[in-house]
Amino acid sequence: MKTCSLIKILTFCFVLIFPSLAFSQSAFEFQIKNKVQRGQGKPSLVLRATEGVKTAKVVMVRSDGKTRTVKMGSMASGKTKTIVFKQPKGIFTYDVTVTGTTRGGEKMRTTFGTEVAFIDPIKIGIKKDNVDLAKGELLLSSNVALTKIDIEVYGKGGDVIHTSSQKIDAMRGDLVINWNPPAGEVGSVKITATDIAGFWSAVVLEPFFVDIPHQELVFETGKATWVEAETPKLKETLERILAEMKKHKRKGLSLQLYIAGYTDTVGTASSNMTLSRARAKSIAKWFRKSGLRLQIFYQGFGETAQAIKTADNVDEKRNRRAVYLLGNAKPPTSPQLPKSNWGKL
């Protein structure tokens, strides 16, 4: 049994700690926590008195026209007061005015503007049915609007073999991510997504495939059916698939089965392509009918990927075969799998 790579789909989510805006003027020092993810506190304005304050007032005018006024009263030097930006989810700008009187009788007035983001934490995922490593393409889902995608592709040895970035015009939902596929076998792909507030999250895809050993099914001549005496071979293969699924279940992988069909060179290339696809689909249907509960994909390659290279019209039973791959993403193209247009059962 051949294991083609490690089995791992890891998702990481990190929150950037933004340096708050801070400045001093008149009797106050100001600090603004202006970028916050929901569930991680609230955006806020912190005022620290640099001298005794008799009375003070803060007026916050939001970009949607909402105004909030907070009266602070007296404050001793060194004391702080926190005012929360009470806003719905989203990004708003504010015009803030602070007025008051010091204990020495001096009037004070400070005005400034700021942008405040209060948004959902990023949740991204890779839709594994739409991964095509050979083309350098995958489908990424995001719950928040993104501005940039960074792509890192690693080889089997762990070395970086490709890096690129893709700008996103504040879009959310399903996003097609593309890169120029590098030469060499891919070990993993890391996608880092940055949202409109500068927070980021990353997901790592490590493609994993197990080649399931099996006895070759003998089909009826020119057909996609087999005699009942051949069914025990499929039952044995099904048991091996279930055993592999059980072995890897604890790792949290979402597995799919890929069935590839092949023929010898007897007959036309076109008819062999049709026949091999029909036979792969018949096997897929048998597995489903027999209780295999996972996504099953099938594809026929006809005589285009021979196990034993022969001339035309050669009856070579070793070329009349099927391949069963259990994996967590669409298999990359290869000499054995020259196309990636898998049908879904």
User: Over the stretch 171-188, which tens digit does the pLDDT of each residue have?
Assistant: 889 999 999 988 877 888
User: Buried b vs exposed e over 89-123: b needs ≥16 C-beta within 10 Å?
Assistant: eebbebebebebebbeeeebebeeebebbbbeebe
Residue ranges, comma separated, of all CATH 3.30.1330.60 domains in the chain are 209-344
Task: Note the pLDDT of residue 261.
Answer: 92
Closest CA to 83 of 72, 93, 67, 75: 72
pLDDT tens track for 138-179? 999 999 999 999 999 988 778 899 999 999 988 889 999 999
Residue ranges, comma separated, of all CATH 2.60.40.10 domains in the chain are 122-206
With a cut of 50, which residues of the chain have pLDDT below it?
1-24
CATH 2.60.40.2550, domain 21-119, yes or no:
yes
CATH T-level topology, domain 209-344: 60s Ribosomal Protein L30; Chain: A; (3.30.1330)
Residue ranges, comma separated, of all CATH 2.60.40.2550 domains in the chain are 21-119
Taking residue 16's Cβ as centre, other Cβ atoms within 10 Å add up to 11
pTM given for the model: 0.64
Assign domain 122-206 to its CATH superfamily. Immunoglobulins (2.60.40.10)
